[in-house]
Amino acid sequence: MQDTHEGAQRFYARDMGTAMKMLSDAFGADALLLSSKRVGSGVEVLGLPPSPGASHELQASQSADRAQRRRVHDNAERRQSDRRRAERRAGDANPANEVREQGVERGEAVGDSGGAAQRRQFGDTLAKLSSEHAALFGQRERAEAGSAESFDHSVDMREAASALAERIGSLRGERPATDSFTAASSGQDASIQSELRAMRAMLDEKLQANPSQSMLPEPERYLVQHRLQRMGLSAAVCSALMETVEGDDVAKLWSDCRQKLAALVPIVAREALQGSAILALLGPAAAGKSSVASMLLARAVAAGEIDSIALFHLDGARDARLAELAELAGVAFTALRSADSLREQLAGSAHKRLLLIDMPADQPLPKSWRQEADALQLRELLVLPATGDARFLREVVRRHRSERTFASVLSFYQRATALGEVLSLLLSERLPLAWLTKGAVLPEHLCDPDADSLLQDLGFAGDCPAHEAVLAPLVTEPASTYLR
């Protein structure tokens, strides 16, 4: 699955707590959660690393807010100082105040003067708090009016409000619980941050509830399936193979997979290739069709059955090397014309055991021959280059396969670099394998396939300790590797 967000990454896990921990480990505590949904037996989250630009904007906003608070505080201090100077001037002009001050100096009316001073200090403090309270709520109204401001702009406002509540509580002799107000969410960033905090809280609860929870459900099966896919087998083949085995022991799972796969490899029985047959060799250009015909001819010569084989080619598609070998062996290499009857052209060789027709590249059997081919029980042998990738080979099978195709030949087998893809293709297309070619001309270059040898070349070891050695590197890889 793909996503349009640049730098976004998907995480898959069994539960939301595990998925959020993977997101936090990958992108840090300030990662952004874009979406979350349940898939199959687990969950999928889409995360995004924190944006550097957003961090700069937040710092600039916080700096401006701190400067605004300093200006409000200075204005309040200045107003309070002016009010005190005015009160002192008014007190100096009042004779009653002078008498009270003289009484204080003589020690008279100590209780009344002390209570007045305390009330005056309390009033001054309340006036200061009122001015700060008014400035703070004015700032909140401006934040609500400007909906384009960042969600985190309300953090410093909450801190100032908390400090104000604490100071009021200390004046009254009690300290109420801190009450923080929440600014209105602004756009998608606010909802993302809110959801992220909720997921973090859920993650903490999950980790505290079960700290020893496994990162992967059934990790042994994950390891075995991942190793099968690294060998080149397609995901569909690996999933189908894992459904046929049970258990949680890595060595046993590996051994069972090997046995199941060996039983599933489609190989033509040798008895089916010993009887009389008319074979047409089909395939793409440079697949090795003429080489397969040459090796079958060499086998007949080596076995002393030169009279049991006949070679044909479609008119205009004569291979020079095959013609030369046929001439050296004393075997006729006859041209067939698509406009003429196939039965009549093969009638002269009807007594031979094996009739080989070398078809041109990327050309199917002529339509005029198909009815006669069915009557003659002609069978098509599809030659596939083992060096091709899965997409190319699948297209070759789609283009050339017909109801007369009974088997395939893997040519250039010794040069195959993606044997797992080729084997997956044979399994998914249910295309049996007749021969392998590991050379060009000699009879020993045409090999009979064997399931155990194929699996050995694919990377399967022969016994359980070797299986453990093959799977050992996977144990050290992080679990998130299998979920990305």
**CA separation for the pair 423, 427 (Å, rounded):** 6
Q: How far is CA 420 from the centre of its chain?
A: 21
Q: Both 298 and 352 in a single domain?
A: yes
Dihedral sign from CA coordinates of 246, 249, 253, 255 = negative
pLDDT in tens, 165-208: 565 555 544 444 444 444 445 667 777 888 888 888 887 777 66
Residue 161 half-sphere exposure, CB side, CA atoms within 13 Å? Answer: 17
Looking at the domain assignment, is residue 412 inside a domain?
yes
**H helix or E strand, kind and range, residue 15:** none
Looking at the domain assignment, is residue 464 inside a domain?
no
Distances (CA, A) of 59 to 267, 298, 352: 69, 82, 90
Q: What is the CATH number of the domain that holds 409?
A: 3.40.50.300
Residue 222 — pLDDT band, cuts 50, 70, 90?
Answer: confident
Looking at the domain assignment, is residue 473 inside a domain?
no
pLDDT in tens, 260-298: 999 999 999 887 787 788 899 999 988 888 899 999 988
CB atoms within 10 A of CB 446: 22
Contacts of 210 (CB under 8 A, 6+ apart): none
Say if CB 376 and CB 342 are below 8 A apart: yes
Residue 370 — pLDDT band, cuts 50, 70, 90?
Answer: confident
The domain in which residue 379 lies consists of 268-449
Burial of 90 (0-12, 13-18, 19+ CB in 10 A): exposed
**CA separation for the pair 400, 393 (Å, rounded):** 11
Q: Both 93 and 169 in a single domain?
A: yes
Looking at the domain assignment, is residue 353 inside a domain?
yes
CB atoms within 10 A of CB 231: 18
The number of folded domains in the chain is 3
Residue 407's pLDDT is what?
A: 93
Q: What is the pTM of this model?
A: 0.52
Looking at the domain assignment, is residue 220 inside a domain?
no
Residue 146's pLDDT is what?
A: 47
Distances (CA, A) of 230 to 227, 458, 478: 5, 11, 16
Looking at the domain assignment, is residue 351 inside a domain?
yes
**H helix or E strand, kind and range, residue 20:** helix 16-27
Burial of 444 (0-12, 13-18, 19+ CB in 10 A): exposed
**CA separation for the pair 479, 458 (Å, rounded):** 25
**H helix or E strand, kind and range, residue 386:** none
The type of residue at 447 is C
Say if CB 240 and CB 264 are below 8 A apart: no
Say if CB 447 and CB 436 are below 8 A apart: yes
Indicate the average pLDDT of the chain.
Answer: 75
Q: Both 333 and 351 in a single domain?
A: yes
Average pLDDT over residues 307-320: 83
Residue 168's pLDDT is what?
A: 56
Contacts of 46 (CB under 8 A, 6+ apart): 3, 5, 8, 9, 10, 11, 33, 34, 35, 36
Q: Both 37 and 113 in a single domain?
A: no
Looking at the domain assignment, is residue 250 inside a domain?
no
Say if CB 57 and CB 153 are below 8 A apart: no
Reported in sequence order, the residue ranges of 264-391 that DSSP labels E, i.e. its strands, are 277-282, 309-314, 333-336, 354-358, 379-385
Q: Both 150 and 41 in a single domain?
A: no
Looking at the domain assignment, is residue 239 inside a domain?
no
**CA separation for the pair 296, 456 (Å, rounded):** 26
Q: Both 70 and 28 in a single domain?
A: no
Q: Both 13 and 64 in a single domain?
A: no
Is a pLDDT exceeding 60 seen at residue 256?
yes
Is a pLDDT exceeding 90 seen at residue 383?
yes
Task: Name which of 435, 431, 393, 390 is nearest 411 in CA terms.
Answer: 435
